[in-house]
Amino acid sequence: MYKRLCAILLLIAAYSGSGLAQGSSTEHLELSISESISYFAKKKFQIGPPQSSTPIDSSMQLRSGNRHEFRFNFLAKGRFASEAFYGNESTSVDFNRSTPPAETLSIPLQIHNFGINLLYYPISSETSKWRPFVNIGGGAMLYRPTDEGQQIATDPLRGNLSDFFESSRAAVNFGAGIKRSISRSFGVRFDVGSTLTAVPTFGLPTESTNPNVAVLPIQGRTNNMHASIGINLYLGR
């Protein structure tokens, strides 16, 4: 994933630099403010020996929620554009035990997502009111427990996870959308997309030979699908 992310960022930097070299100006600066619906796929796992002599079936679910997003778009000439983005949401991660006795541990989180995107407008010019686009990019996603979440996770009577802390993961994102100019200085924007990261483990090891060490035997990637609607402010017009 990390090699792929570096390649994407280099590609974006190359196109951005090319666009600026061709004369991109402040006329093309845009600020987008959006609200997004965010959905994470569930990840199943099983805890076995030496932590438990009987396998325990469990799952980790990052709850769906609303994400606040900001994008700063600087257009290159032609059909390419580059944008920096940042989003954050308040949610929680649920660890669900399905093997009896069934129980759920819910830990409040803040999720921060930021990076750089390359946009491509396949069928429209810079003066079109409707501008469909596709985008690809990369950055990072931080899964950070709140103060309350940290207390729940480390409390011996609740989570009993003394080593629980934030996970930082490289992210690859892609999607599509459309922009609509309403006036010279104002417009709207619609996006759908997906962000892929390695599964956050919150500082917990995936395995241990010590039966007293809490483990989170979960691997692979997590998929964050999202859809947003927002406003575009054309700063340089």
- CB-count burial class (<10 Å; 0-12, 13-18, 19+) for 227: middle
CA distances in angstroms from 3 to 6, 7, 136, 173, 228, listed in the order given: 5, 6, 15, 14, 29
Task: Classify domain 2-234 by CATH architecture.
Answer: Beta Barrel (2.40)
Those residues whose C-beta lies under 8 Å from the C-beta of residue 179, and which sit 6 or more positions away, are 130, 131, 133, 187, 188, 189, 232
96 φ/ψ angles, rounded to the nearest 5 degrees: -105, 125
**What 3-state DSSP class applies to 149?**
helix
Q: Is the Cβ–Cβ distance between 35 and 229 less than 8 Å? A: yes
Give, for all 237 residues of the chain, the pLDDT tens digit.
444 444 544 554 454 455 444 445 556 688 999 999 999 989 999 999 999 999 999 999 999 989 999 999 876 667 888 999 999 999 999 999 999 999 999 999 999 999 999 999 998 666 778 999 999 999 999 999 999 999 999 999 888 998 899 999 999 999 999 999 999 889 999 999 999 999 999 999 999 999 989 999 998 999 999 999 999 998 866
142 CB-near residues (< 8 Å, 6+ apart): 110, 111, 112, 113, 166, 167, 168, 169
Domain segments of the chain: what residues?
2-234
**Three-class SS state of 204:** coil
Q: pLDDT per residue over 153-184, tens digit each?
A: 999 988 899 889 999 999 999 999 999 999 98
**49: CB partners within 8 A, 6+ apart:** none
C-alpha 124/C-alpha 122 separation (Å) is: 6
Q: How many CA atoms lie within 13 A of 224 on its CB side?
A: 28
Task: Give, for 26, the enclosing helix (H) or strand (E).
Answer: none
